[in-house]
Amino acid sequence: MADLSVNFAGISSPNPFWLASGPLTNTGYQVMKAFDQGWGGAVWKTVGEPVINVSSRLASIDYGGRRMVGLNNIELISDRPIDDNLREIAEVKRRFPHHAVIVSLMLASDADLWADIMHRVEDTGADGVELNFGCPHGMSERGMGSIVGQVPEYSRQITAYAKSGLKLPVIVKLTPNVTDVRIPGRAAVEGGADALSLINTINSVMAVDVETWLPEPQVAGRGSHGGYCGPAVKPIGLYMVSALANDRQVRVPLCGIGGIETWRDAAEYLLLGAQAVQVCTAAMHYGFRIIHELTDGLSDYLDRKGLVSVQDLVGQAANRVGDWNDLRLSYSYKSVAEIRAEQCIGCNLCYIACDDGGHQCIDRVEGQKAPKVREDDCVGCNLCALVCPVPGCIEMVGKDLGTVETWRQRQSRMMPLS
């Protein structure tokens, strides 16, 4: 069987699956229960000066009969005293010495304040800290959270405060609410970050009840922006992890977060360069027991691929995601749709989608159930395959047209000599 253990920035854990900082890591009871189930690590719910939270706090998007495709959260950091959190962190680490216990922190930009809390965290025996530069609501209005992650100078400075005189690894959790995630990522590394985790939640307003006109969630008739997470955000997380994995100025381990619900989701993050992953919404939805499906699934997958460890998977697809300018142009390579007539049910969704929203290259054929694709006119947009309700009925087939040229190469070739 493949070895699922990982060493992330000097932090060891029996598998790459960690609970992300959030409601499910708020107490020692919860974290120990999760470790008993088999989770490899946990990032404690963000510790800082205690706050007073609001009620209610969560709202979700349901789609196609499925609950919680996306989750919105307006809860703030831990509202429990710092001393209580640190005492429980120490107890968890004593009872589970081989599991990763990471302490998420959020404090004001004060060097002395950071020095004090970092040494107190070190005394607990925790394995590392995660600086929360990503929370988009509540704390950002107080000069912390995403407001730090959106200003490179702040990210660099506070990371340096945390690293000063500390032996523990420092992970910086990045906000996705930026134009280019590489900029704050580089700043954190310049400040001394040993690793980066991403993404934190996305700024959002979840919904408005069209009958009552109340936002969701609502607190005594008013709402606010919150953090969006859950399966719907995975593509954004994958993109941002790949962007940092391919950035030559960011040469630290990455922890992938965002929409991870299955072992396949985790494998995608690992393939794009993450060395560990964090899970939150899925564990809130289905309970800590999902760890068995995650570890069993990943172990079976590694065995099937002939890989002996998680590290063998890390980054294997990272260099396949890059700039659009480096893709082959359509006169060099194209894909065309092929409809398997024997599988077609005659719903004509492909024809309608192509005619109304595509490139008008699918024709109905009188007396035949299956439409026909005009290959010369097909641009390979994939829309027909995406709307087809029969798996495998429509296949996109690649056609190598000979000349290998990208937009970047074409521009270079066409540039006049000076």
From the number of C-beta atoms within 10 Å of its C-beta (0-12, 13-18, 19+), residue 338 rates as: middle
What separation in angstroms does the CA of 70 have from each of 73, 209, 260? 10, 17, 12
* Under 8 Å between Cβ of 381 and 335: no
388: annotated active-site residue: no
Single-letter amino acid, residue 347: C
5-14: buried (b, 16+ CB within 10 Å) or exposed (e) per residue? ebebbebebb
> Cα 62 to chain center, whole Å?
20
Of the candidates 135, 229, 350, 388, the residue annotated as catalytic is: 135
* Under 8 Å between Cβ of 256 and 270: yes
Query: Which residue matches tokens 């079976």?
Result: 300
Contacts of 142 (CB under 8 A, 6+ apart): none
Q: How many other β-carbons are positioned within 10 Å of the β-carbon of residue 122?
A: 16
Write out the two tokens for 85.
């959190």
Write out the two tokens for 357.
């929203």
What residues form DSSP beta bridges with 103?
44, 129
Which residues are designated catalytic? 135
